[in-house]
Structures are given as structure tokens and as C-alpha cells.
């Protein structure tokens, strides 16, 4: 069963390739879907359709009959890395498609709603070409972390005011990276993948016609990457050796707690505010890549290589504020602001995994025509600069390196009710 789900998700990832997201609350997207993203990701206590599958599952219970949604986002990161003694190097142009497809329905006029969807949870990636390696030669830094989830979801109206929901996440993740592959001890790693299961519980309480509160809890997803291959550069003499079995341990998608409130000051206005706690400190500590089964003979002691990435990310608080105004029964406009503390410590900053953007501003709209909704949102992540302040050491090779990053994302979605 796990294998079959893994194959399905892997196929979806191939169809959506290149899928790697430069996600922005750490490695998470600030919101899924143009409605949530248009409100800065403030969606815990806001009615949703299919996108509740990726947000608060309790909001699936606002589905009135059947709805299918298809869409996604296009993300364009802009980064620069400046290593000590070098000029800044810009990231190659990247435009990542982040798909979403979902279906939700109420079971008759009962209190139960069900749905299923597949979506990009997040990820990250860089592509720095023509950057000098530690030996001074032209080289590259490249990474691509992609995480996709298939999410069957159930919601139940316990009372007219209280709704509960639950989602099972079947996730599939992949990682590739190049760490100065042309230089001494350089690595070219491909094909690491992992299947994982997690879950999310959600609740929404409609206090009155104006106020609602919501909360979610998401379990962590332990990702045991394997099935990869590493080409390791021993430098002059031994040259490059391909290790046919590579795996990565201790890379985890974090647990998360979210609480949110929504308020309708007038019939046409909706304001929403969420606070999230993301437990990166438990999820991303020291990630170790282990390579074995070399394709050519190697000296004793080199049959297995172990490469640690000391990351020690910090827990993250995310604040999301959104507003929505219904102009009439066809047009709705939205705006939002999202701040997520940078989870990457100064002393372990690694340009391969710099998820450092903090401030986001968003705006969007929905155009409703008969049974169709057309959602659109734009998201801008403002520039954040960070410098590795740790002492140089074999486990902190990027001491003194500065990374600068901003990004723009466009979200679109089409929903049909029937």
C-alpha cells in the first residue's frame, strides 16, 4: 500500500516537475490556494472549499455540495550568494510550478463532509552556477527539496457552531543536491526519496455571526531518504567515485500548531489573524548523508562516507493577517501580510538550504461566475540578508558567506461547484 501511494505521488511529482518549491515559512508555503495566500495565509478560522485539505480540515465542512478545484502557484525566487573574497553570484532563473488539485463534497445533507486532494506542501532549492569553490575553481551549488502530499480529509459538524476535521497526509519527498562537485570533497547527490505518513486535526468554533476561532495540530513527518546515488570527488589521484547507495537521515517535516480567529465587522468584510508555531528545532538538526557501495575500488576506510550537515534550525513563529471584502456577488478582493521568523541560525547558514525570507505581502481576488470561482493572488516575499557568523570548521565551510533572498509567487485556482 505504502509502495503504491509512493508510486502515485512520485508520478504526480514527475508530472509537475520541476516541483521544488522555494517555500517561505521555513520550507512551508505561507498558504495553499489563491484564497488563503491572498489573505497572507490567515485561513485557520476562514471558510474554505477544497483547500481545507491543505489547511484547517474542519473548514471542509463549509462545503455545501460538491466542489472540484484545480490550480497552483508559480514561484520565482531571486537569490544572491556572496562567499568571502568573492563577488556576489545570482541564482539562475527558476520558476517552480506548485500544483493543487482537490475534490470535496458533503454527504447528502448530513453533517459529514469528505474530500481528497494532492498538493505541494513546500520545499526549497537553489541553483548557483559559476560560483568559486574552496579551491578557487568555477563550480556550482544546487539543491532541490520537494515535498508533495496526498490528503484524504473528513469533517463533521458536531453542533451548529463546532466543527472538527481530520486529514491523513501521505507524503512523498525527494532531494537532489550539488555541493561543489568539481572541487575536493565535492558531492553530486541525486535520487534521494522518501515516503511518509502524517496527520492533521482541526477545529473551528463559530462563536456568533461575527466571530469564529479555529485551531490545527499537525504531526511531524519523519523522512528517511534512500535510493539515491552520490558521486564524491576525492580530488587528484582517486578522482570521482560513485557510491551507488546513498541515504539521508534526520530530515523531518516539523510538527505544527496553529490558532486563528476571524471577525466580520460588517456583512461584506472579513478579517482574519493566525499564529503558528513550527517545531523546526526538533525537525532539522544535523542531517547526515551516508553513501556506501562504491562503484570502483576505494582505499580501506572509504567504503562508507558520512557527510553531516549541521543545521540546528530554530522553532518558528508565524503571524498571518488577512482581509477580505466582497464587492458584490461576483467580485471579492483580498490582501494580507505574513511574517515568519527566520528559522535558520546565523552560525549554520548554508546556501544550499537558505529558507530565510520573513516578510510577505499578498493581494488577490475571486471572480465568481455562476458555479465557477476563479481565484488569483500575488505574493511578494521581501528581501532578507543573512551572513554565516560561525567560526570556520570542517562542519561549517560557509563561514562568512552571505545570502540574500526575495521572491514573487503567483497563485491561480479554478473551482467548480456542482
Partner 1 sequence: MAFMLLLALLLLAPAPAAPAADAGPAWLGYAQAARLGRQDRRPIMLFFSAPWCYLCKKMRRLVFSDPELAGRLSEKAYAVAVDITREPRLGEVWAVKQVPTTIFLDPQGKPALRLTGYQNRSTLGRALDFVAGGHHRRTTWEAFSARP
**What does the binding site for partner 1 look like in residue numbers (CB under 8 A)?**
47, 61-65, 106, 108-109, 111, 157, 160-161, 163, 206, 209-210, 264-269, 323, 325-330, 333-335, 361, 363-365, 368, 370-371, 378, 380, 417-418
Q: How far is the CB of 71 from partner 1 (least distance, A)?
A: 17
Q: How far is the CB of 48 from partner 1 (least distance, A)?
A: 9
Please say which residue, 91 or 163, places its beta carbon nearer to partner 1: 163
Compute how many other C-beta atoms are within 10 angstroms of the C-beta atom of residue 135: 12
Beta bridge partners of 337: 321, 361
Please say which residue, 209 or 393, places its beta carbon nearer to partner 1: 209
Q: Which three cell numbers stand for residue 30?
A: 505561507
Q: How far is the CB of 153 from partner 1 (least distance, A)?
A: 15
Q: Which positions ≥6 away from 334 have C-beta within 8 Å?
A: 35, 38, 39, 322, 323, 324, 325, 362, 363, 364, 365, 366, 377
DSSP character for 110? S
Please say which residue, 121 or 409, places its beta carbon nearer to partner 1: 409
Q: How far is the CB of 328 from partner 1 (least distance, A)?
A: 7
Please say which residue, 215 or 403, places its beta carbon nearer to partner 1: 215
Beta bridge partners of 187: 179, 232
Q: How far is the CB of 89 from partner 1 (least distance, A)?
A: 28
Q: Which three cell numbers stand for residue 232?
A: 564524491
Please say which residue, 8 or 321, places its beta carbon nearer to partner 1: 321
DSSP-assigned states of every residue in 16-51: T-S-----SBTTB-S-SSHHHHHTTT--TTS--SGG
**CA distance to 5, 6, 37, 316, 351, per residue, from 101 (Å):** 16, 17, 16, 28, 32
Please say which residue, 37 or 144, places its beta carbon nearer to partner 1: 37
Q: How far is the CB of 62 from partner 1 (least distance, A)?
A: 4
Q: Which residue has the cell 526575495?
A: 406
Q: What angle do CA 283, 45, 53 make, to 5 degrees?
A: 60
Q: How far is the CB of 404 from partner 1 (least distance, A)?
A: 21
Please say which residue, 319 or 325, places its beta carbon nearer to partner 1: 325
Amino acid at each position: 500500500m505504502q509502495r503504491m501511494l509512493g508510486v502515485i505521488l512520485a508520478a504526480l511529482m514527475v508530472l509537475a516537475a520541476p516541483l521544488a518549491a522555494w517555500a517561505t515559512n521555513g520550507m512551508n508555503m505561507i498558504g495553499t490556494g489563491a484564497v488563503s495566500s491572498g489573505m497572507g495565509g490567515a485561513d485557520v478560522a476562514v471558510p474554505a472549499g477544497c483547500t481545507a485539505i491543505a489547511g484547517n480540515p474542519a473548514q471542509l465542512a463549509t462545503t455545501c455540495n460538491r466542489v472540484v478545484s484545480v490550480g497552483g502557484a508559480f514561484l520565482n525566487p531571486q537569490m544572491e550568494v556572496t562567499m568571502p573574497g568573492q563577488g556576489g553570484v545570482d541564482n539562475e532563473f527558476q520558476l517552480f510550478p506548485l500544483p493543487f488539485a482537490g475534490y470535496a463534497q458533503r454527504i447528502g445533507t448530513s453533517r459529514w463532509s469528505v474530500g481528497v486532494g494532492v498538493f505541494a506542501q513546500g520545499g526549497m532549492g537553489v541553483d548557483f552556477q559559476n560560483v568559486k569553490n574552496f579551491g578557487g575553481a568555477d563550480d556550482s551549488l544546487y539543491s532541490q527539496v520537494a515535498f508533495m502530499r496526498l490528503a484524504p480529509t473528513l469533517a463533521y459538524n458536531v453542533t451548529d457552531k463546532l466543527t472538527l476535521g481530520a486529514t491523513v497526509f501521505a507524503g512523498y519527498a525527494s532531494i537532489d543536491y550539488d555541493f561543489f562537485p568539481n572541487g575536493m570533497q565535492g558531492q553530486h547527490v541525486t535520487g534521494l526519496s522518501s515516503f511518509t505518513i502524517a496527520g492533521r486535526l482541526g477545529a473551528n468554533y463559530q462563536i456568533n455571526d461575527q466571530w469564529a476561532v479555529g485551531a490545527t495540530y499537525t504531526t511531524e513527518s519523519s523522512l528517511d531518504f534512500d535510493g539515491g546515488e552520490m558521486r564524491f570527488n576525492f580530488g587528484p589521484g582517486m578522482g570521482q567515485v560513485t557510491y551507488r547507495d546513498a541515504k539521508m537521515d534526520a530530515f523531518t517535516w516539523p510538527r505544527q500548531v496553529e490558532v486563528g480567529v476571524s471577525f466580520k465587522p460588517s456583512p461584506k468584510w472579513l478579517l482574519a489573524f493566525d499564529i503558528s508555531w513550527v517545531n523546526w528545532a526538533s525537525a532539522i538538526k544535523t542531517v547526515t548523508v551516508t553513501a556506501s557501495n562504491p562503484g570502483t575500488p576505494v582505499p580501506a576506510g572509504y567504503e562508507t562516507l558520512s557527510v553531516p550537515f549541521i543545521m540546528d534550525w530554530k522553532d518558528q513563529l508565524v503571524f498571518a493577517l488577512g482581509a477580505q471584502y466582497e464587492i458584490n456577488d461576483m467580485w471579492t478582493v483580498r490582501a494580507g501580510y505574513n511574517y515568519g521568523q527566520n528559522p535558520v541560525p546565523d552560525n549554520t547558514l548554508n546556501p544550499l538550504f537558505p529558507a530565510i525570507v520573513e516578510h510577505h505581502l499578498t493581494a488577490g481576488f475571486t471572480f465568481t461566475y455562476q458555479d465557477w470561482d476563479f481565484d488569483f493572488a500575488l505574493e511578494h516575499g521581501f528581501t532578507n540578508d543573512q551572513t554565516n557568523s560561525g567560526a570556520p570548521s570542517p562542519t561549517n565551510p560557509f563561514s562568512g558567506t552571505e545570502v540574500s533572498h526575495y521572491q514573487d509567487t503567483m497563485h491561480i485556482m479554478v473551482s467548480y461547484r456542482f
